[in-house]
A = this chain, B = another copy of it.
Amino acid sequence: MNDRQDAAAGESDLRDTLPAKRRAELVRLVRARGQVTVTELAALFDISVDTVRRDLDQLAERGLLARTHGGAVAAGDLVTQDTPFIDRLVRQKGAKARIARAAAALIGDGETLLINGGSTTRAAAAELGLRRNLTIVTNNLALPQILPPDACRDVYVMGGHYRHEAQVTLGEVRFAFAAGINVDTALIGIGGISAERGLSTTSIAEAVMISEMMKVARRSVVLVDSSKFGHDSFATIGPLARMHVLVTDEAPGAELAAALAESQVDVVVAPG
C-alpha cells in the first residue's frame, strides 16, 4: 500500500478525518469505485480494520452501501433477489411471508390487480399460484418472471424510468397510465405508516406512482410489516383513508389502531 499520495484524485490525506466526515468520504469512495475492501480502507484512512468494519456496518444499516465479506459494494450492486419458484408456498415463516399469504388470500379468481414494487408485494405475487385468470399490471420488472404462469391471463408492465436499486419503473404518470386502466385491487407495499402523517414511502416519484395506483383501483390493499408502524418515510402518499385494507403481521398500537378505525380501514393481521 502507498504511504501517502494516492493515484486517484480526491483520496489524498484521508487520515485524521473526523468519523462523520470519514464515513461520508467512505460512501463517496465506494460509489466511485464500485467496491472497496476493508484492509484497503484501513490503510487509506490509517485506522484499524475493526473501525472500518464498524463504519461499514453502520453505513450498510442506513442503506448507503451493501456490506459483503471482505469489504463493501455500492448499494445497488448486489443481487438480493429471492428464488422465483413456487416452492415458496410452503417455506418461509417470517413476517413478510405471512403478510404475503394473508394478502394473497384476499384475491379472488379473475380479478385485475395493480401491484407496485417492493419485496413484500413481490412475495404476495408469488403466493398467487392457486388463483386463475388474473390480469396483473405492475411497475416491478422482476414480477413478471416470478408470477405463477398458470395464474395469470394477462400481465402488463408499466413503462417509465427505470430505477436500478428497486428494479422498478417510475414514470411520468402520463407515460405509465396512458391506457387509462381500472382495476379491482391494488396491492401496495409502502415504507412507513403513522397516525399523524398517514402513508409514506422512500421517494417522491414512488409516492406519486402509488397515489395514482390507488386512484384507479376499486380497492387498495396496503402491505406493511409492524416494524414500520409509527415510522414515516421521506415522501407522503396520503392519509390513511386512502386505503381500504391494511395487511400486517401484528396488531397496531392504540393510537394507530384508533386512526385506522376512524378512517374505516379493515385491518388484517396475518396469522402466525
Q: Which residues of A contact B (CB under 8 A)?
A: 17-21, 23-24, 27, 34-35, 37, 59, 61-64, 66, 68-71, 73, 75-79, 81-85, 141, 144-145, 149, 154-162, 164, 167, 169, 171-172, 174-176, 178-179
**Interface SS of A by simple majority:** mixed
Known pairs A63-B82, A63-B85, A75-B84 / 7 extra A-B pairs, C-beta < 8 Å: A18-B37, A18-B69, A20-B68, A21-B34, A21-B73, A63-B81, A77-B149
Number of copies: 2
- Complex Cα distance A141/B84, Å? 15
Contacts of A63 in B (CB 8 A): 81-85
* B174 pairs with A179, CB closer than 8 A: yes
Chain B residue with minimal CB distance to A72? B18
Contacts of A69 in B (CB 8 A): 18-20
Contacts of A24 in B (CB 8 A): 73, 77-79
Chain B residue with minimal CB distance to A76? B145
* B21 pairs with A35, CB closer than 8 A: yes
Chain B residue with minimal CB distance to A60? B83
Q: Which of B18, B73, B141 contacts A70 (CB 8 A)?
A: B18
